[in-house]
Every structure is written in C-alpha cells, then in structure tokens.
Amino acid sequence: MKKILDGIRVLDLTNVLSGPFSTAHLALLGAEVIKIENPKDGDLARKLGNVPALNKQLMGTSFLAQNANKKSVTLDLKSAEGKEVFRKLVATADVVVENFRPGVMERLGFGYQALSTSNPRIIYCAISGFGQTGPDAFKPAYDQIIQGLSGVMAVNGDERLNPLRCGFPVCDTVGGLNAAFAIMAALYHREHTGEGQMIDIALLDSIMPLMGWVAANLLIGHQQPVLMGNDNFTAAPSGTFATEDGCVNIAANQQVQWENLAKALDVPELIEDPRFKERDTRKANRKLLTPLLEEKLTEKPTAHWVKVLNEIGVPTGAVIGLEEALMQEQIRHRGTLQTLQVDGIGELPFFSLSAKFSRTPGRLEVAPPRLSEHTAALLGSLGYSEGDIAALKEKAVI
C-alpha cells in the first residue's frame, strides 16, 4: 500500500531519545530516514540499556526502541571529506533533524542558513532543551532537568512524596512528538508553496502545554496546584481505590456515574448526603468519601468491580504492571506491538505506529540498523566508487 511519506528523505543527526523518537514516527510513515552517526560508536543510545551484551554490540535496548525502519551512515562531520559527503546528501534531502546544543551546526558550517542556500526546499528541525534563543538557550539539558524546570515534578505525587518525576522520559518523548508534528506541518506548507523552513523545538516549550488544565487553574483561576497523588482534581470520586486484592481506578466524573456507583456499592444514602450530593462538595470532601467507598470495595476483588461498574457506565479499570499492560488483548488486537527479526539477536518486539490510517497505514518493515550498515550503499548512490569509499574508511571519515 502507498506510504504517506513515500519519497521523503530525512537526514537524522540526532542522538538518544527526543530526536530519534521524532524521526521514528517519520520512518513508520514511510520516509527514508538516514541516521548520520559518528564513525567511532554512533548514537549514544547504542550503549544504553539493561542488556550488557547488546550494549557491547552497539545495539542497546534504548537504541532498538526507536530506530526501526531507519538506515545508518557513519560520517565525521568535522573532516573536509565528511562535510563534502554531507553536502551531497543535503542536496538530495527533504528534512534535516538535529538535537545538538544551539550553535553546534553553525560551527560545523551546516546551520539552517547555509543548508537552505544550497537547498531552499530543505526543512530543518532543531531540537534542544530550551530552544535556539533566550537566556537559557545554551544550558545543557536532559529530560530530568526539563521535568524539574517545567513544573511537572512539582505537580506530581502527594504530601508524602513530592517533587516526583514521571517514571519515563516524558519531556524527551513529548518533544519528539512535537517535532514530528511540526515537520509534517512544514511538509504540508512546502507542498503548497515550495518553501522550506527552520523549525525550533524546545523540550521546555513542548511539555508545558500538556499541563493545560492545571496551568489554567493557576493562570485564570489563581489556584496553585494541589498535590493529590492518584486522585483526579476535576471530580470525585475519581482516582485509585483499594479493593480486596489490590486497587482499581474509578472515574465517576459525571453526576449519573456517581449515583450509579453509590447504588452498585450499596450505599445509596450517600447520594443525598449533603457532603457528597453536589460535584464541588464531593471534591471538597473526597477524603471523607474515599474510606466509605473503600469499605465496600475491599469486600470483593478488582476483577469483580471492573466488570460490574463498567456494565453500568462507570469507567473502571485495573491498575496493572507494565508487563501485563503490554500483553493485554486490546494491545494485541490493535497491533501496538509487532515483531521484527534482528540479525544476530533474534525476533524482537517493537512499537508500531499508534495512529491507524485507513489508506496509508504506517508499518514496521526493517529492524534497527547496525552501525554504518548503509554507508557504502548511500555513498555509492552519490557517485563514490568502491575505491573512494575504501579511502574514506581508511581516513576514519566513515
């Protein structure tokens, strides 16, 4: 079937997570994504992961996670010969993505102005912690730093545990998604105008709009964030509750859902209780309400309540571990995880494109590349002979 980004060539100079996560989505949509890696050991993520044997192969789990469907070309961009190869690649490319600190690409001679002069249609996306301009632009940044500076850690947890980071690199991944979204928008603009452009993505900018409701309560309602742990600040009862054998998430966010919940738990008297009758009073008295509900919920296991409450329209779900979550029947049905054969390693699971297109579906096709796997073929396509390639390798340019 047709791929939505057929014919689009992306030069991916990114490392670790935010950039590779962005280009992974472009690759799943059919773009030819060429990773430009340093000849010594490539993307740092190749050494990151909990399987030492894979790290030694430069195929660490962190690298495997977001580099399927891509090609790998090694290139020393500091050498004259490497620069020449890169210029030739840029002439054939549609998109360049990098996540160096601001100024690095300019010092190499490959900033947006230089590249757009030779290829006016180029879309250049720079991903960094704080953006290309501003008082913090040149500060180093990892996901942990951005979580702290964005307010994310400040709004997580409860009075016992705060600040609290998210359990995965949320700022890096959201920054990558933001970059992929922006690149697609720029490709759409170019389709209509022929114009390339520069895209400046900051992880700090990317994560903060995700706190829109919490931020609106502060900016418009002048209410500081309240630490609520696993409770939902918009409604009550809405959060995590103890059951006979664990815990369950219940989101009785609407009045009818609250009333149905109270009846199902055989506490209909709470519906007319003045402390809980109205939405805002329930929210104010959630600490009084929760124990009354848990007294009933702990009489039966989680599975019972998931079945009973969902049947009457009260959104309810078990709280499960990651392994069980990945193996859910719904995840299998959606094809969220698919397998690919990785040479020298075996068959491994990978996340597929989560957006399901009816006419141009994204799909996993090729395993993450070994370091420099495609260098000879790509250079050959640019006119380099076998002798030229051997000479570049001898000089450690590739």
**How is the chain split among helix, strand and coil, in percent rounded to 5?**
45, 15, 45
Tokens of 235: 């409604």
Question: Would you state the structure tokens that stand for residue 237, as one six-digit string?
Answer: 């009862």
Catalytic entry in 43, 76, 172, 231: 172
Strands 247-251 and 238-242: antiparallel
Compute the distance between CA of residue 319 and CA of residue 204 in angstroms, rounded to an integer.
Answer: 30
What DSSP string describes 197-231? EEEEEEHHHHHGGGGHHHHHHHHTT-------TTS
Residues 6 or more apart whose Cβ sits within 8 Å of residue 228 = 158, 239
Question: What is the rounded distance in angstroms from the CA atom of residue 337 to the CA atom of residue 68?
Answer: 13
- Return the beta strands (E) in the chain as ranges: 9-12, 32-37, 70-74, 95-98, 123-128, 197-202, 238-242, 247-251, 316-318, 337-342, 346-351
191: left (phi over 0), alpha (psi -120 to 50) or beta: alpha
Of 155, 210, 154, nearest in space to 177 by CA: 210
Q: State the residue for tokens 């209410």.
A: 223
Cβ-Cβ contacts under 8 Å for 143 (sequence gap 6 or more): 17, 169, 170, 171, 172, 203
Contact predicate 125/179, CB 8 Å: yes
In angstroms, the CA 208 to CA 391 distance is 49
User: Sign of dihedral through CA atoms 194, 198, 202, 203?
Assistant: positive
What's 132's DSSP letter? S
| Residue 6 known to be catalytic | no
If residue 261 lies in a helix (H) or strand (E), which one and from where to where? helix 255-264
| Distance separating alpha carbons of residues 365 and 69, to the nearest angstrom | 6
CA 214 to chain centre: 21
**Which tokens is 261 given?**
């919940």
Catalytic residue numbers, as ranges: 172
